[in-house]
Amino acid sequence: MKIYDVTRPVYNEMAIFGGDPKVYFERVQSTANGGFCNLGKIDFGLHTGTHVDSPFHFLADGADLDHVPLEHFIGKARVIEFDDSVTVITRELLEPFAPRKGERLLLKTANSFRDPDAGFDPDYVPIDASLAEYVAECGILTLGVDFQTVGKGADIGVCHRTLFNAGICIIEGLRLAEVPAGEYLLSALPLRITGAEGCPVRAVLIVDPE
């Protein structure tokens, strides 16, 4: 079984999206220092690294993660790749791939090949509002991107709300550099945190044996 780990590592001082809480991991007990066991704790925002967004992230009456069907985050998914000449993903660029109702789409761009340790890159490749509107019309289930947010600038709010109003959940921060375009089995399950609007995940893509 071929498994691609498409998750960003979580660690102190990792690059985060502007305004999000920083990561703080601490070893509170260590066997090397005579402790009974190794024990750590971590403090981070719910949109750290590779994570999922539920509608409650932007919609006051949207579903939180405890009320989102897990089918959004586990099942068949399609990776669609755009070459490094693409600076923004628009409806026009996605239309030839004919998104299908109920599909989980993961968009691979130049973002996946950038050094995540280099800090926040303001020149990331975003989707735009036209693409959000298009996939909402198509009725997809989940949209995954390889940056920490969908949209850029004023489009960030527009893209989130358009997707959420259509019942689409979002996976952000995927690392797809090693993953060829094609069909996979996706698992990107969030923790069951009551009332959470988002949560980091361990996202993997499995080559479908069928």
- DSSP element (H, E) containing 79: strand 74-81
Strand 142-145 relative to strand 169-172: parallel, antiparallel, unpaired? parallel
What mean pLDDT value characterizes the chain?
Answer: 95
Structural domains in the chain? Answer: 3-7+47-206 (3.50.30.50)
What integer is the mean pLDDT of 76-87? 97
> Structure pTM?
0.95
Q: What is the pLDDT of residue 73?
A: 98
Q: Which residues are catalytic?
A: 57
Say yes or no to pLDDT of 22 above 90: yes
Cβ atoms of residues 166 and 55 within 8 Å? no
pLDDT at residue 210 in the model? 62
Q: What whole-number distance in Å separates Cα of residue 49 and Cα of residue 23?
A: 10
